[in-house]
Chains A and B, each alone.
Chain A
Amino acid sequence: MNDENKNYVDIWGDNVKIKDLGISMLLCIAFALGGFILAPGEAPQPLITGLVGGVIGFIISSIIIKPKRNITKMEGDE
Chain B
Amino acid sequence: MDMVIILQMILASIGGAVLYTLIGIAPGTDETAVLAPVTIALVLVGVSPYVILAFFISAIVAKKLTDSIPVAIAGIPGGVMAAPMVEHAMVLKSHGLPDVSIKKMSSGSVIGTIVSIPVSFLIANLILPYADTISEYAGLIFFFGAVFLALMTTNKILSLAIIVPFALLIQGLRHLYWGLEIVPPDVTVFVSFFLGITIGPIAFTLFELLNKEYRKNMPGLGNKEIKLKSSEKAKGIPNPFQILTKKESASSAFGSFIGSITFFLSPVGMTVFLGEFLTRHVKDPVQRASRAISTMDGLTNASYISGTLIPLIAIGLPLSPMAIGPAAGLFNAPPVYTPEHNIHHLLSMGEIMTATIIGAVIALVITFNITIKYSSQICAFVFKYIPHEALIGLFAGLVVMLAYMDAGWINIFGTILVALVSGLLHKNGVNYGVLFMILYAAPWLLGVLS
B interface bracket (residues with beta carbon within 8 Å of A): 35 or more
A30-52 Cβ-contact flags toward B at 8 Å (1 or 0): 01110111000000101110110
List of A residues within 8 angstroms of B389 by Cβ: 16-17, 20-21, 23-25, 61, 65
**Chain A CB within 8 A of B449 CB:** no
Q: How far is the CA of A5 from the CA of B385 in the complex (A)?
A: 18
A interface bracket (residues with beta carbon within 8 Å of B): 35 or more
Which of B164-195 touch A at CB < 8 Å? none
Q: How far is the CA of A20 from the CA of B389 in the complex (A)?
A: 7
**Chain A CB within 8 A of B228 CB:** yes
Most buried by A among B205, B385, B387: B387
Known: A44-B45, A57-B393. A9 touches B221 (CB 8 A): yes
Which of B383-400 touch A at CB < 8 Å? 383-394, 396-398, 400
Q: CB distance A74 to B230 under 8 Å?
A: yes
Known: A13-B27, A73-B230. A29 touches B221 (CB 8 A): no
The 10 A-B residue pairs whose C-beta atoms are closest, nearest first, are A13-B28, A28-B397, A24-B393, A32-B397, A61-B390, A28-B393, A14-B388, A58-B394, A54-B397, A32-B401
22 of the cross-chain contacts (CB-CB < 8 Å) are A6-B221, A11-B202, A13-B28, A16-B389, A25-B389, A25-B396, A31-B397, A33-B401, A44-B46, A51-B45, A54-B394, A54-B401, A57-B397, A58-B394, A61-B389, A65-B387, A67-B384, A67-B388, A69-B384, A70-B226, A73-B228, A73-B230
Chain B residues with a Cβ under 8 A of chain A: 27-30, 41, 44-46, 76-77, 96, 99, 201-202, 205-206, 209, 215, 218, 220-232, 380, 383-394, 396-398, 400-401, 404-405
